Structure 1
Amino acid sequence: MKPIPDQLLAEPGRAHGEATGEPTDVVRRSLLQWFRGLSPLFAGLVIVPTLLASLYFGFLASEVYVSESRYIVRSPSKPNLSPLGMVLSGGNIVGASEESEAVIKFLGSRQALETINQDGYVTRAWGNGSIFWFDRFGYLGKDTGEDLFEYFLGKVTANDSSSTMVTVLTVKSFDPQSAQTINRRLLEQSEVLVNELSDRARRDSIAFAETELARARQDAQNAALALAAFRNREGVIDPELQASAGLQMIGKLQDQLIASQTQLLQMQTYTPQASQIPYLRTQISNLEREIAAQTAQLAGGRGSLSSASVRFQELRLASEYSERQLSTALSAYKEAQAEARRKQAYVERISEPSLPDDAAYPRRLRSILGTFVLGLLAWGVASMLLVGVREHRD
């Protein structure tokens, strides 16, 4: 790169004895010589990009306004906390990380764009003819739905803080009102989404509790019917109680048998010709048959009370278990209903969408200087590469 000739540093009037402020032929020739002496590489990588950047950022680029809002997704403390966690949280309202992440994903989705652009407002705001053609949506025929979604992703950002759980929603547009309106629409749709997620979770919870309650009721009913059918079939109410009564009966019969046998023995010893001896023998025989019958009924074969007691115990335990399951399911259903009456998650706005009063972009001077610096870096790297290639050839 050649230095600027001294003639360019001198005032035209003093160099030629003239007071006029217009360039002289000498100055024109000096400028031409200076530009001709510039390296084409320097001109292509530094001067031309800087001039184009100056033209675009200085005169052509449309002003971009940024609307910002802040919100947090809150929900009641989760019920599955440990006892220590429940004491520390105190049942307070806390940030809902899952719902917050879902909202952020939604804000960058096609569904969010389609919802806020149902009336075409977003397309009109970003594709207005007053916007410079290179900046607006739809330039060079890129006006498809996919093009709009890509353009949307470049204008809308949602960032959250893991420590505060606060999400910052920013929207860029080419006038303050549209930036604020689009931001407000996205925020409203976020609230709708969180409410839908909460309603769906509540419905699923209640539906599951209702299903479990219906199943428990059916099991309890089946167990009760099975127990009733067993009692009707076997002709017993409670085998244990009946067995206890049977044992008492056998005990009484045995007492009578012993008394009759004792009386018979005495008569045979002292009055063998007594007329009561045949009666006592008949009575003893009847008592023995009755005791045998009662014993067979209690501990005999398949039809005995002992065998019926085993099956009765199984059915009674099943009935008691189903009753406990029904009680548990009923408690869970009531708890699910109580939980459903609370709003599990909601969007709390910390700051409403702002109405910007000044354009945030483009940052004209910074962009021009950045282009110039990058051009210098590219020119320096390219120059060193060319020098290396020449030295290698030599």
Structure 2
Amino acid sequence: MSNTKALLTKYVYSSFSLLVILPTILTISYFIFIATPQYVSEAQFVVRGEGVAPPGALASLLETTGSGSATSEDTYAVQDYMMSRDAMDLLIKDDDLQSIFARRNADFIARFPNFLQGQTREHFYRYYQRHVLAELDSTSGISTLSVRTFSPQDSQLLARSLMIAAEQLVNRMNARQRENLISSSRKELESARAALEEVNGKIAEYRTKVSLIDPLKQSAPVLAQAHELTVMLTNNQGQVEQLQVAAPHSPLLPVLKERIRILKKQIQAITGSVVGPDNSLVPRITEYDALATQRTLYEKQLEGAALALEAAKTRADRQRLYIDEVVQPNLPDYPTYPKALATTLIVFVTLAALYLMGKLLIAGAREHQAT
């Protein structure tokens, strides 16, 4: 019986050593002899709009809609971009990202590629997401970018490149937003300008057709002459009436009557040239006046469209986004990873807990069989 207990005790200790102690020792050995130090460079930034405070907890409570929430959405967009495949591809192109994570001095477990995962672009993207993190502090509204590599210089370089890429993204967002805001106003301006050019072309064609620059202005002297002749006609008619009463046999009467006949003929000729049915000025004035009215209307529309475009540009400038760097990417002084002590304790506690659970399950099964 004592031999059985001794063998059981020996088995328990050997299994515990094999399943718990040995992996823990291997973990400690990895951190001491193999693991490569990893450095974290951090940068803090805020995505702001013109005249808009950064989104914090109080702002979120007071502003459920409007510019505050819009800026918060833009902050999340910038963070997602930093951790996106597009940002990764940009770093691969500009900073040779794959070479940075494949340093020869990096250990075979931490670097990429390694035997724990594949070597495809998708596997590298998952690896990238574990080494680049962008988070928003909802209380302060400040976003923190963390980049982890095997060199302080590489971490700072990638963090700075991501900040530059984020600024370029914000600039593209501003350009799209500006274009969306002013595109309709620009189309209205172009439409009004085209309509004005069309009516100006019609006026030019009409002037060529009737050989008149401005029928209304050019008819003014003719009408003034007709008015003068009418005044003269009225005066002569008054003189004739006076002579017929005072001196009916005066020799001036035939002269005045002849003058009246000539004046009437001249007035009729002038009036006919203005209001006659054929080539008179009235139809020309009417047609020209309609074109001139259209031109005035389109000029006002063009002026209003120009003012609307300037107002849209001003509004677009006020809604411009920009990145305010609170803390620039730093150069780490000491490695942050790997966290040897914490990881070792986690490994030991986890394996010990699993071992105890397995032991209890086996004991329960044996007891069940015995009964």
- Structure 2 matches for 1:372-391, cutoff 5 A? 372=351, 375=354
- Does residue 150 (structure 1) correspond to residue 120 (structure 2)? The answer is no
* Equivalent position to 1:168, from 141, 144, 166: 144
Q: Please state how far the C-alpha of 1:31 moved relative to its aligned partner.
A: 5.2
With over 3 angstroms needed to count, the CA separation of the structure-2 counterparts of 1:139 and 1:315, relative to structure 1, is same
1:71 corresponds in structure 2 to 45
Q: Which runs of 5+ in 1 are unaligned?
A: 6-25, 79-94
With over 3 angstroms needed to count, the CA separation of the structure-2 counterparts of 1:231 and 1:37, relative to structure 1, is closer
CA contact (8 A) 1:126 1:174 kept: yes
* Equivalent position to 1:351, from 313, 327, 336: 327
The number of aligned residues is 341
Q: Counterparts of 1:367 and 1:327 in 2: how far apart (Å)?
A: 73
Q: Counterparts of 2:308 and 2:81 in 1: how far apart (Å)?
A: 33
Cα-to-partner distance string for 1:281-318 (whole Å, 9 max, x where unaligned): 44333333333334444444474444333333333334
2:336 aligned counterpart, secondary structure: coil
With over 3 angstroms needed to count, the CA separation of the structure-2 counterparts of 1:120 and 1:347, relative to structure 1, is closer
CA contact (8 A) 2:38 2:151 kept: yes
Q: Please state how far the C-alpha of 1:33 moved relative to its aligned partner.
A: 0.9
The code of the aligned residue for 1:256 comes to M
- How large is the RMSD of aligned CA atoms in angstroms? 5.2
Q: Please state how far the C-alpha of 1:152 moved relative to its aligned partner.
A: 0.6
CA contact (8 A) 1:49 1:371 kept: no
- Does residue 371 (structure 1) correspond to residue 350 (structure 2)? The answer is yes
1:11 corresponds in structure 2 to none
Q: Counterparts of 1:225 and 1:281 in 2: how far apart (Å)?
A: 51
The code of the aligned residue for 2:29 comes to F
1:92 corresponds in structure 2 to none
CA contact (8 A) 2:24 2:348 kept: no
- Structure 2 matches for 1:1-394, cutoff 5 A? 30=5, 32-34=7-9, 50=20, 54-55=24-25, 57-60=27-30, 62=35, 64-74=38-48, 76-77=50-51, 100-118=75-93, 121-128=96-103, 131-140=106-115, 142-161=118-137, 164-194=140-170, 223-224=199-200, 226-236=202-212, 238-241=214-217, 246-264=222-240, 278-301=254-277, 303-324=279-300, 346-354=322-330, 355-362=332-339, 363-368=342-347, 371-372=350-351, 375=354
Cα-to-partner distance string for 1:56-100 (whole Å, 9 max, x where unaligned): 64333635443322123455449xxxxxxxxxxxxxxxx966764
CA contact (8 A) 1:257 1:288 kept: yes
Task: Please identify the structure whose Cα radius of gyration is greater.
Answer: 1
With over 3 angstroms needed to count, the CA separation of the structure-2 counterparts of 1:368 and 1:217, relative to structure 1, is same
Aligned residues: percent identity?
A: 23
**TM-score scaled by length of structure 1:** 0.61
Q: Which runs of 5+ in 2 are unaligned?
A: 53-69
